Amino acid sequence: MLFRMSPLRVSHAAAAVAAAALCGVLVAPWSARAQAKKPVTLEALASAGARMMGPGVQAFWSPQGGRLAVIRSEKLLLHDAATGEEKEIVNLSELSRQAQPFPQPEQMTWENRRVREQRIQWSQDGSKILILSGGDLFLWEESTGRTTQLTSTPAAERDPKLSPDGSKVSFRRDRDLYVLEISSKKVARLTHDSSETLWNGMLDWVYPEELDLGTAHWWSPDSSRIAYLQFDVSREPLYPHGDFLKMAAVAEPQRYPKAGEPNADVRVGVVSASGGATKWMDFGETRDFLIARVHWSPDSNSVLVHRLNRVQDHLWIAAADAKTGRSRVLIEETDPAWINITDDFRFLSGGRILRSSEQSGFRHLYLHAPDGTILKQLTQGEWEVSSIACVDENGGRIFYVGTQASPLERHLYRTSFDGAAPALVSPGAGTHSIQMSPACDYYLDTFSNLDSPPRTTLHDAGGREVRVWREPDTKILEEYEILKTEIHRFRGSDGTEFYGRLIRPAKFDPSKKYPVIVSVYGGPHAQSVRNAWPGGVSWEQVMAHKGFVIWQMDNRGSAGRGHRFEAPLYRRLGKQELADQLEGIRYLTGLGFIDPQRIGVQGWSYGGFMTLYCLLHAPDVFKAGAAGAAVTDWRNYDTIYTERYLGLPSENEQGYRDSSPVHAAANLKGRLLLIHNIEDDNVLFANALQMMNALQQAGKSFETLIYPQKSHGLMGRASQHRWAEQTRFFEEALR
């Protein structure tokens, strides 16, 4: 998945009084400035950029609700939601010292880097907590108050899971699955046939990256069996990364299937928790199909999968008998563009299923009968359900996060199984990030809006605030002059409504004409313009203090507005996005303080691709661009993402060519800064090299920044260097 760089934290505090009269402009309320605030500089970005929120706090709800396990300062605490009482139960630093160190590879390994291993897990009865520390496993038991070390091995235990009955722990060691019996600490190996190219319970690179699949094995509810994915990656091509800073260069190959190349062959097996032969589930052909999700039925008799065809416009939710492997299709969906997969799938009593779907053009909740037929659509309208937060079947309540109030906001709502009108639960206009108890009795709400940095509070299920969980450290806002962010609403020439965000320069004078830097992302699964806290000290603030207007908008193809708004980029990336970005430029120019001869553009990942696309397909509009980690030829990007939006290269050759900046290098007129990391595992360095070659062959001048030993993002000194060079570049190009 291409993503937006986190250092691009925009800022605001309120809006200029003159802007308040603009139609369709949402601005933060004015607040008096403290005396002698500092301007945001590159030095401030380096020293203060991460100070806003302070140290993070991780919280894990107990399955019964009412209390949380909390990691704070490497201590594991129990927090009572009703009383606020807290007690330390485990010193995690001590566990790290007890864990046996496991050998670190001399070269980078690429598989499972995005797998969401759970460091803390409650048992289903709430009496135990499994802890992963330093590659070893520990178990805290409430009955004794003691923590027991379960494993001490040179090899790391990966992706551990407590069995539902709390008696066993499953995990992966290297490329095979194991089960440990807690009472005896005996370990049974469940799979024995792994190799360099055959992986049991272990994901390849592209599945977690593009399907957001976080694990490859699942306990049956009765704790008797485990379903797992087996990946045969023998056909996946190897990409030759290398670490060239060592005196003897080290090869670091990564299995990376590019568009049109073979994916891994993936099948689903079921094995007894005590060992024995694997029973393979028969869901049909494995080649050119994807297993996106796996579930057990509540009675432990069936394994359900979400199975997609290769180009992801056809979904089958099928159930296989865990004993025989025979399967049947329960739910089938097709889409003229593509189908987005989520985790919104819940079993209910009597075999009914609650799930979300975009079949109406917006993601909504549907209730299905055990045979898969739709019983009722529970939510509807031109807004979307972002995620299911909790299901209280006994109470007849469904909690979900959605955009009903505004596509710029996220709120917690409650509805019922009869499809009654949703009720708003979370107070306050803005963005609510919800972490709800599995018992649906309490929730943590991290709330922000344009005028309020993120603040986390604990609420009961009715929305009543119980206590403040975490306050932001706002000293940085008192130290630096954070310029205001405005949200603008406008219509394009075809009547489509768009949203953009604007930061005016320091000492803004509406009679002047200012240079503009357009920050762009523009791709699927991302929404840049939100009624949410954009940040504090940031590079965009640096540039606004240097006299630049900062602008960003969400074009068609972006998230948050439903599948209908997202789908127009299908089979031709860049064209619709650029057309909408040009609508934004026309709107900006109409405000009267923009110099149309000094417009620059910058972005990272999909935003880097869009930067190149803007420069090469609208060269008379965009005079300079800084393109970071850009896809330059979509044949170079991974199978699952690229084929979802463009189809197969063999079936859309022209669409691939027209979408790839490398074929338009001769159109470059303005100045270009091309930035890439040599060991980028997401957008391969080959993209940059091929773009450089195309520009050289076309006789075009450009600048480059190349960072060794860095993957897809930049941090620390490398990030500081990038921002300093990018600042110099735009000051030279647009002054």
Q: What are phi and psi of 123, to 5 degrees?
A: -75, 160
- Is residue 385 a contact partner of residue 422, using CB atoms and an 8 Å limit? no
**CA-closest candidate to residue 463, choices 502, 503, 501, 411:** 411
Q: DSSP for 495-542? A: S-EEEEEEEPPTT--TTS-EEEEEE----TT-----SS---SS-HHHH
Provide the residue type at 495 as one letter.
G
- Is residue 191 a contact partner of residue 177, using CB atoms and an 8 Å limit? yes
DSSP designation for 366: E
Q: Is 605 a catalytic residue?
A: yes
Q: Which of 79, 368, 617, 712 is catalytic?
A: 712
Provide the residue type at 661 as one letter.
P
- Is residue 637 a contact partner of residue 631, using CB atoms and an 8 Å limit? yes
Where do we find the tokens 């060239």? Answer: 244
Q: Is 143 a catalytic residue?
A: no
Size (the chain), residues: 735
Positive/negative CA dihedral, 83, 460, 121, 166: positive
With residue 316 as reference, give the H or E element that holds it: strand 314-321
Radius of gyration of the chain (CA): 26
Q: What are phi and psi of 530, to 5 degrees?
A: -140, 155
Provide the residue type at 587 as one letter.
Y
Provide the residue type at 194 as one letter.
S
Name every residue whose Cβ is closer than 8 Å to that of residue 31 and which is 6 or more positions away in sequence. 13, 14, 451
Q: Is 125 a catalytic residue?
A: no
Q: Which of 163, 605, 660, 719 is catalytic?
A: 605
**CA-closest candidate to residue 270, choices 259, 260, 279:** 279
Instruction: Report strand pairing: 431-436 vs 314-321.
Output: unpaired
**CA-closest candidate to residue 715, choices 3, 42, 50:** 50
**CA-closest candidate to residue 239, choices 706, 683, 718, 717:** 683
How far is it, in rounded angstroms, from Cα 1 to Cα 17? 40
How far is it, in rounded angstroms, from Cα 207 to Cα 406? 32
Q: Which of 136, 554, 633, 680 is catalytic?
A: 680
> Within 10 A of 53 (CB to CB), how many other CB atoms are there?
16
- Is residue 440 a contact partner of residue 390, using CB atoms and an 8 Å limit? yes
Angle 404-568-684 from CA coordinates, rounded to 5°: 105
Count how many Cα atoms sit within 13 Å of the Cα of residue 710 in the half-sphere of its side chain: 18
How far is it, in rounded angstroms, from Cα 401 to Cα 411? 5
Phi-psi region of 615 (alpha: psi -120 to 50; beta: other; left: phi over 0): alpha
How far is it, in rounded angstroms, from Cα 362 to Cα 364? 6
**CA distance to 356, 525, 526, 619, per residue, from 641 (Å):** 21, 11, 14, 28
- Is residue 317 a contact partner of residue 358, using CB atoms and an 8 Å limit? no
**CA-closest candidate to residue 144, choices 211, 90, 195, 99:** 90
Phi-psi region of 592 (alpha: psi -120 to 50; beta: other; left: phi over 0): left
How far is it, in rounded angstroms, from Cα 450 to Cα 485? 7
How far is it, in rounded angstroms, from Cα 8 to Cα 535? 9
**CA distance to 51, 492, 634, 648, per residue, from 571 (Å):** 42, 22, 11, 10
Just list the catalytic residues: 605, 680, 712
